[in-house]
Each structure stands twice: as structure tokens, then as C-alpha cells.
Structure 1
Amino acid sequence: MTPLKQVLSLAVPALGVLAAEPLYLLVDTAVVGHLGAVPLAALSVAAIVLAQVSTQLTFLSYGTTARASRLHGAGRRAEAVAEGVQATWLAVIVGVILIVVGQVFARPIAIVLAGEQQVADAAVGWLRIALFGVPMILITMAGNGWMRGVQDTIRPLRYVLAGNGLSALLCPILVHVVGWGLEGSAIANVVAQVVSAAMFIRALIAERVPLRPEFGRMRAQLGLGRDLVLRGLAFQACWISATTVASHASTATVGAHQVVLQLWVFLALVLDSLAIAAQSLVGEALGAEDEERARKVAWQVTGYGLAFGVLLGVVFATLAGILPKVFTPDAAVLAEIPHAWWFFVALQPICGVVFALDGVLLGAGDAAFMRNSTLLAAIAGFLPLIWAAAIFGWGLAGIWTGLAAFMVVRLVAVVGRTRSGRWAVVGAVR
């Protein structure tokens, strides 16, 4: 199999998994939207809270892949799968804790985020049901992690599509036909998560590896998880700051920012599929103690990321006069969008390289460097320019200049780290 075919064989199914949840959320939003403005607002508030789980606990997938892929490369498949077993135990433990904490704090959080009492009440009802699916969400993340590590990205796609597909069918039935309203949406969500999680658990059992908890291995996973969580918090600080500054500028500014940012997030998912392929292949090479192959894969995937990023930039430059009108007819918002749009377009090649090398360094287990470089990019690049934009009234141009600085600092950091070779530590365990 050629390098490109090998990358695509891992990246394309991984893209399907990454895209499944956002696409399901669009269906969920459309179904709930027909209930009226209050249920839709409540879904928006509650879904943001639930989304923080998958955003902040990505170590259950990415961290597990980093460890499992090395063991797989060393020919120790049973131990690679065992990483998935322990990640699944962690998912259950953390998930149960989050159910309890979430039930206690659901109302205070909803009141802070929603503002209006009616919206807050509806959000609490949805959230308290949806929280029971949190352990299942985390189990699915752990399952994706170990399967990517052993280079099996087809089964995770089937499992996730089975759950989300069933839920997409159930959602309109429970919401409108049965008449459960917003709560029906939450129940459909939980059903999807239970179905997907059950499939991942069945796959673990079929591997015939010991299923007992091993707290030493869990501690090692949590160590990697700590770095990835801190890195995730840096991202959240940047996105929240950008939205806050845009909101204080004008309604048109925040509307335009939302349109371009959502396109940015979608393309990040597309490019992240290359990062997942890079992570699996680099981890395998290092586990097999083949440093030369790991370095070769790193630069090959970087080249693919650059080419893909250039292609995306060209496509969205061409669509500049058309695509924004799909999202909004508002003349004021459309007038603001170009101030962010051309930053968004120009940054795509940089994103292609950065996301690919993120995958390389994650595959090498170089999480501490990634944590530090992301924090540096946020503190020295993004945040100063974002808040300067607020003080001096620079609007969207200032906000997206901050995002550009964030990505350029990250580019310099990850390219420099990859060139140094210090990430390429061979062996089954780093």
C-alpha cells in the first residue's frame, strides 16, 4: 500500500467518525427548532455544557491511541487492546462522577448561561436526562482510541453511525409523534450513546484480553491526559475570548464571527482526520523502533496536510461571494464577514501543516511539548491581540489577526520540534 493510500485508509473512516456527531446535532437542532424559540435556545445552552465533556476529555481517545499504537507497532496487540480496557474503566469512573456532579450543578449552570428563566428550566430538563449518556460518550471515545491505535478505523465508523443513525430516526418520533418535546431529544441522544458504547464494549470482550482494572496503567493514562486537558483549556480560553470580544463589538460582528468560526471548526475536523492517521502510523513506527520510518511518515503527512490546506483555501476563496449568503440574509452580517473570511482562507495551508504535525507529536506521546507550545501561542499570540481588539475597537480584523498569530506561533513550534527529532523516542512505551 502506498503511503498516501495508507493515510487515506485511516483518515477517511476517521473523518466519518468526526463528522457523525456534528451532523447528528444538525438533525437534532432542526427537529427541536420546530418546537419554538425557547426549546431551541434551551438545546443550545444544554448542548454547550454537554460538549465540554468531549472537548476536555479527548485524552480518552487521543491519549489511548498514542499508547496503543506504540504497543501495536511492537507486535504486542493484546497489550495495545489492554490500553483500551483501562481507558474504558476510566471512562466509566469519570462518567459516573460527572453524572452526579452534573445533576447537582445543572440548574446553576443553566441559569448562568441562559439568562431567561424559561430557557434555563427547559435546558435543565434536557441536561439532566442527557447526563446519563456521559459514561457512554466516554466509553465511545476510549473505544475509538484503542481501535485507531491498532489501525482499525472501519469498525468505529460503523459503531458511531449505527448509534447516531438510530437516534436520528428516533428523535423526530419521540419529540413530535410521541409528544415528549425537548426531553424526547435528550432520550434519543442517550439511546445513540448506549448503542455505540455497547458495540465498543462487545468489541473489547471479543478480543479475549483481561478486563479487570489496572490502576497503574490508568495513572499513566491520566498523566498524558493532564497535558491534553491543559492544552484543551488553552483552546477554550481563546475561543471564549474571541466570541466575547465579538459580542461586545456589535450584533453584526458576532454573527459574522459565528458563521466563519463554524466553517473553521468544520474544516478543522476535516484536517484532523489526517492527524489521526499520522498519530496511528507514527506511534506504530516508534513502537517498532523504526525511527527513520517515523520521521518519513511525519514529513509525508505534513506534505499531504499542506496540499489539502492549499486546496481548501482555493475552494473557499472561490466561494467567498456565495457561501456566506447560505448562512444569513442579513446585510449587516454579510458586510462584516469579509473582515474574517480572508484570514480564514489564508490560514488553511498553515492549518493543514499544524494539524498534521499535531498528529505526529501526539502519536509520539509528546503531549508535554504540545501543552507548552499551545499555552505559549495562546498567551503570546492570541489573547493579547484579542483583548487589544476589544480596547482599540479593531473588530473582526483584530480578532482574526489574533487567531492568525496563534496559528503562526503554533506552526513555528511544531515544525521546529519535528525538525529537532527530539520527539522520536522509540520503544513500545514512552
Structure 2
Amino acid sequence: MMADSDPSFPSMAKPKLPLWVFVKDFRLVLTLDELGLEIARIALPAAMALTADPIASLVDTAFIGRIGSVELAAVGVSIALFNQVSRIAIFPLVSVTTSFVAEEDVMAKVAAEAEESESLETGLVTTNESEPPNSGDVSSFEVATSKVTNERRHIPSASSALVIGAILGLVQTVFLISAAKPLLNFMGVKSDSPMLAPAQQYLTLRSLGAPAILLSLAMQGVFRGFKDTKTPLYATVAGDVTNIILDPILMFVFRLGVSGAAISHIISQYLISIILLWKLIAQVDLVPPSIRHLQFGRFLKNGFLLLMRVVAVTFCVTLSASLAARQGPTSMAAFQICLQVWMATSLLADGLAVAGQAIIAGAFAQKDFERATATASRVLQLGWLLGLVLALVLGLGLTFGARIFTNDVDVLHLIGIGIPFVAGTQPINALAFVFDGVNFGASDFGYAAYSMVLVAIFSIGCLLFLSASYKFIGLWIALTIYMSLRAFAGFWRLGTGTGPWNFLRRL
């Protein structure tokens, strides 16, 4: 058999259905072995960093809800619009950066180890032939190790990511400021709506923070590629704590209202960017020898595929918010609260996705398919368990905690309708996010793009039909269908053992 003669597959058995990967070593799912500890070291800080910003947005939402339901709905539309436009640039940039940096870092370490080994051998030969056994000279091995340890690394993808991030951030700022009113009109906030003035005010101000957001997330992608998720966590927490502290001061003490919320958010994002840049400069030489050393072509090719994907994702979520806004301020306010909670908790699974992507990318770079398989199995199983826990926590917590965000009786009634969907979809959401990380780690960007376009086409039809027929509850039924299809697309790729996962048929 081909598998028997292929050195890439050290422990071969009879051909199996690729579906076995989903239950492989399930008894070890919570074991803190070497793989479990590596996943935990990457996933836990990543999850905390990913949820920090949505939590800060929830705090914004809680403060703004004290001003009034109109302002709450207006800011809800603006946040949804800003986040979805940002995702068009952020998601491809961060995902591609993580995979490329992980691959380059692994290969650089392999090359450094080979150089150190060669230096050690040369040093031993020199010592044996011409030096006394106990001379006080420093060996070639020690010199080589010191050089590798003390010199800053040159990672071409890191430099490329920062240049692209800065350009995209400036473009986003100009676009959102110049097109704020038409975009809000598209979202259902018409010229005669009381939501227009506060929504436009908030969106215009918050857009000034776009360059900082794009740069900071590009740098987070670099650190994730290094399997360092603690540094982004510390920077994000510092920024978001600053945001939370400034919110009530600017909003109520200085009476800036929704503008105060936007300004505090801008300050926090620039603080995060400065901290990450400071830390990154200490580790990486960000100035390439020449422009030819940058990876623009590689970024653009794979980034375009992910851009297709994120546009499809963005359109689905933005359309749902637009349809909620068209149902009026009450529906939009309730939808905003449910959506923020839904996304904030679901992003916990993105920590597992980050861990899976970073480890699998390194494994594929070394053609270590056993490790790639074990990692995929473990993070998917952990994602399913996490989703079940989140479903239970949200089902109970949101029922009693909705009054944190608003006291409006009508808004609370609609939130109660949305709770079963927000809580019940958590296992599905968790799997969908983890599948993304697994496939990105395998650089399977083409499948991720094309499958998501098909999912979006069907989901958009569901959103339009169900929202028209069943209003608020119809939106959440459609979003449940959308996330289920996303999860199924990832399941199909691994379950059939196609694309980069075809080796599963031989393991």
C-alpha cells in the first residue's frame, strides 16, 4: 500500500473512515498531557483576549442603556456596522498572518537547530585536534546559541502584516467617516429616525480608532504565530480596563454621552497598539532587508480567498442587524444585547481555534500529520464540551441578568424570546469557530472561502423570509440555521478526508 511505503505516516493501520478523527482519543480530552498543556497555554490567554473587547462593548452597552433606549439602539447599529466592516479587513489579515508566521517560525527554528548542530560538531573537532580539554574558551555551540537567543528574528510575514494593517486601517477610517450616513441608511436608520444623529456621531468618532485596531490585531496574529497569546492578553486587558474606567467619566461627568463612549474606546485601542508594538520590536526585526523580502503576493492571494469568506459572513450578520433595525428601536435594542452576548461567549471557542491553527500550521510545515490529527481531534472535542457549558451558563445567567443592560419592559420581553437561541446555539457556534481554526492551520483557505459563500447564499434567503414572516424570532431561527451550516461545512471537510486532510484516509 502507498501508506506503508510513505515515511510521513509512521504508524499505519488499515484504512479507516476519516470520521474517526472526531472521536479519536476522546477519553483524553481533558487530560493535561503535552498536547493538552500546549493547547491550554495558547487557548486560555487567547480566549480571554478575544472576549475582552466584546466584554468592554457590553460595558459600553450597559452604560449607554442608562441614557435611553434610542441611544442604545443607535449605538447598537453603529457597533454592528463598525465591527462588520472591520472584520472584512481584520479576519483575513489575522488568520493569514497566524498561519504564515507559525510556518516561518517553525522553519527558522529548524534551520537554527541545524546550524547549532553543525557548529557543535565543528567545535568538537577543533577542540579535539588543537585545544587542551579544559581550556576556558567558549565553545562554538555556546556562541551559536547566544547568537540565536539574543538576535531579533526576521519574520517576513510579520513585517508584511504590519504594513498591510496600517494601510487597511487608514482606508477603513476614510470609508466609514465619508459614508457614515448612507451606511446607516442601509442598516435601516433612515433620515427621519431618532437613531440617526447619535448613531452617526458614534460611528464617525469610533472610526478614528480603525488604524489602531487593524495594527493591533495584525500584531496579535504575529504573536499567535509564535504561540504567544499572553502578550496580546496583557495588552488587551490594559486597553479595555482603560476603556471601562473612561466610559462613565467621559459619558456622565463630562456629559459627552455616546461621544464619550466612542472616545474612550479610541484611547483604549491606541494604548493596546502601542504596547504590542513595543513588545514586538523587542523580538522581531520589522525592517526587511528590501521590499522583495515582504510577502505581499502570498498575503494577497490567500487574503483574497479569506476576504470572500469574511464578506459572506459579514453580510449575514450585518443583514440580520439591519433587519432588526427595520423592526424599530425596541427590536434593535433587544437584538443588540442578545447579539453582543451571543458573540462574546461564542468567541471563547476562538481561543481553541487559535491554538489549533498555530499548532496545526507548525505540524503541517514539518509534515507531522500524526500531530496535526491529534490536535484537530482534541480542539474539536474541547470545543463541543465548551459549547455545552456555555449553553447552560447562558440559559440561566441571561434569564436573570438581562436587567443589567436595560429596564425597558418591551426590550426585556424580546430578550426573553431570544435567550433559548442565544444559549442553545453555543455548542454549534463553538464547533463552527474551532473548525475554522483547524482548516486555517492546514492553509485550506480556498475551501473555507467557497463553502462559506454557499452557506451565506442560503442563509441570506432564510433571513429575509423568516424575518418577514416571524419578525424577531425569525431572525434568531435564521441565525441558528446559518451557524449550523457553518459547522457542517467544517465537519464535511474533515469527515470526508479531502483537500489537505486526505492523509486521514491512510492513517
TM-score bracket, shorter-length normalisation: 0.7 to 0.9
Equivalent position to 2:342, from 264, 270, 273: 264
Once residues 349 and 219 of structure 1 are traced to their aligned partners in structure 2, the CA distance between those partners, rounded to angstroms, is: 37
Once residues 38 and 320 of structure 1 are traced to their aligned partners in structure 2, the CA distance between those partners, rounded to angstroms, is: 22
Q: Does the 8 Å contact 1:42/1:114 carry over to 2?
A: no
Residue 56 of structure 1 corresponds to 88
Which structure is richer in relative contact order (CA contacts within 8 A, separation 6 or more)? 2
Residue 36 of structure 2 corresponds to 4
Q: Does the 8 Å contact 2:94/2:220 carry over to 1?
A: yes
Structure 2 counterpart SS, 1:188 = helix
- Distance change >3 Å, CA 253–CA 150, structure 1 → 2: same
Residue 289 of structure 1 corresponds to 367
Residue 70 of structure 1 corresponds to 103
**Matched letter for residue 282 of structure 1:** I
Q: Bigger CA drift: 319-328 or 364-373?
A: 319-328
Deviation of 1:41 after TM superposition, in Å, equals: 5.8
Q: Does the 8 Å contact 1:80/1:149 carry over to 2?
A: no
- Distance change >3 Å, CA 54–CA 383, structure 1 → 2: closer
Structure 1 counterpart SS, 2:295 = helix
Mark the structure with the bigger radius of gyration: 2
- Tell me the alpha carbon deviations over residues 329-382 of structure 1, each in whole angstroms, 9 at most, x when there is no partner: 6666666667654444443333332221111001122122111111212223x2
Once residues 327 and 181 of structure 1 are traced to their aligned partners in structure 2, the CA distance between those partners, rounded to angstroms, is: 16
- Distance change >3 Å, CA 181–CA 265, structure 1 → 2: closer
- Tell me the alpha carbon deviations over residues 9-46 of structure 1, each in whole angstroms, 9 at most, x when there is no partner: 11111122112212222333455556667765654454
Query: RMSD between aligned alpha carbons?
Result: 3.5
Q: Bigger CA drift: 155-164 or 136-145?
A: 155-164
Residue 133 of structure 1 corresponds to 209
TM alignment of 1:341-360, pairs within 5 A: 341-360=419-438
Q: Bigger CA drift: 44-53 or 33-42?
A: 33-42
Equivalent position to 1:403, from 460, 479, 483: 479
Deviation of 1:170 after TM superposition, in Å, equals: 3.3
**Matched letter for residue 103 of structure 2:** R
Equivalent position to 1:150, from 216, 223, 226: 226
- Distance change >3 Å, CA 357–CA 123, structure 1 → 2: closer
Residue 15 of structure 2 corresponds to none
**Matched letter for residue 22 of structure 1:** P
In structure 1, the gaps of 5 or more residues are none
Residue 271 of structure 2 corresponds to 195
Q: TM-score, normalised by structure 1?
A: 0.84
Once residues 339 and 256 of structure 2 are traced to their aligned partners in structure 1, the CA distance between those partners, rounded to angstroms, is: 33
Q: Does the 8 Å contact 1:62/1:362 carry over to 2?
A: yes
In structure 2, the gaps of 5 or more residues are 1-32, 113-151
Equivalent position to 2:169, from 84, 89, 95: 95
Residue 26 of structure 1 corresponds to 58
Once residues 399 and 417 of structure 2 are traced to their aligned partners in structure 1, the CA distance between those partners, rounded to angstroms, is: 13
Q: Bigger CA drift: 334-343 or 58-67?
A: 334-343
- Tell me the alpha carbon deviations over residues 209-231 of structure 1, each in whole angstroms, 9 at most, x when there is no partner: 24147465123212222222222
- Distance change >3 Å, CA 295–CA 233, structure 1 → 2: same
- Tell me the alpha carbon deviations over residues 64-84 of structure 1, each in whole angstroms, 9 at most, x when there is no partner: 101111222334597784312
Equivalent position to 1:389, from 461, 466, 472: 466
Once residues 14 and 67 of structure 1 are traced to their aligned partners in structure 2, the CA distance between those partners, rounded to angstroms, is: 18
Deviation of 1:2 after TM superposition, in Å, equals: 3.1
Structure 2 counterpart SS, 1:423 = helix
Residue 157 of structure 2 corresponds to 83
Equivalent position to 1:104, from 165, 170, 178: 178
- Distance change >3 Å, CA 412–CA 193, structure 1 → 2: closer
Structure 1 counterpart SS, 2:347 = helix
Once residues 62 and 338 of structure 1 are traced to their aligned partners in structure 2, the CA distance between those partners, rounded to angstroms, is: 35
Does 1:369 pair with 2:402? Answer: no
Q: Bigger CA drift: 348-357 or 15-24?
A: 348-357
Deviation of 1:139 after TM superposition, in Å, equals: 0.7
TM alignment of 1:31-50, pairs within 5 A: 31=63, 43-50=75-82
- Tell me the alpha carbon deviations over residues 157-189 of structure 1, each in whole angstroms, 9 at most, x when there is no partner: 111122222333334334444555554444333
Deviation of 1:326 after TM superposition, in Å, equals: 6.0
Q: Does the 8 Å contact 1:305/1:352 carry over to 2?
A: yes
Q: Does the 8 Å contact 1:272/1:355 carry over to 2?
A: yes
- Distance change >3 Å, CA 166–CA 303, structure 1 → 2: same
**Matched letter for residue 365 of structure 2:** G
**Matched letter for residue 35 of structure 2:** P
- Tell me the alpha carbon deviations over residues 104-159 of structure 1, each in whole angstroms, 9 at most, x when there is no partner: 33455456646358754555454444333221111101110010011000111111
- Distance change >3 Å, CA 348–CA 139, structure 1 → 2: same
**Matched letter for residue 201 of structure 1:** L
Once residues 219 and 67 of structure 1 are traced to their aligned partners in structure 2, the CA distance between those partners, rounded to angstroms, is: 12
- Distance change >3 Å, CA 19–CA 90, structure 1 → 2: same
Q: Does the 8 Å contact 1:73/1:283 carry over to 2?
A: no
Q: Bigger CA drift: 304-313 or 62-71?
A: 304-313
Once residues 131 and 258 of structure 1 are traced to their aligned partners in structure 2, the CA distance between those partners, rounded to angstroms, is: 19
**Matched letter for residue 488 of structure 2:** V
- Distance change >3 Å, CA 75–CA 179, structure 1 → 2: same
TM alignment of 1:225-374, pairs within 5 A: 225-245=303-323, 257-317=335-395, 322=400, 340-374=418-452
Once residues 180 and 136 of structure 1 are traced to their aligned partners in structure 2, the CA distance between those partners, rounded to angstroms, is: 22
TM alignment of 1:108-123, pairs within 5 A: 108-109=182-183, 113=189, 115-116=191-192, 120-123=196-199
Q: TM-score, normalised by structure 2?
A: 0.72
**Matched letter for residue 348 of structure 1:** Q
- Distance change >3 Å, CA 362–CA 53, structure 1 → 2: same
Once residues 405 and 101 of structure 1 are traced to their aligned partners in structure 2, the CA distance between those partners, rounded to angstroms, is: 32
Deviation of 1:297 after TM superposition, in Å, equals: 0.6
**Matched letter for residue 221 of structure 1:** F
Q: Does the 8 Å contact 2:65/2:405 carry over to 1?
A: no
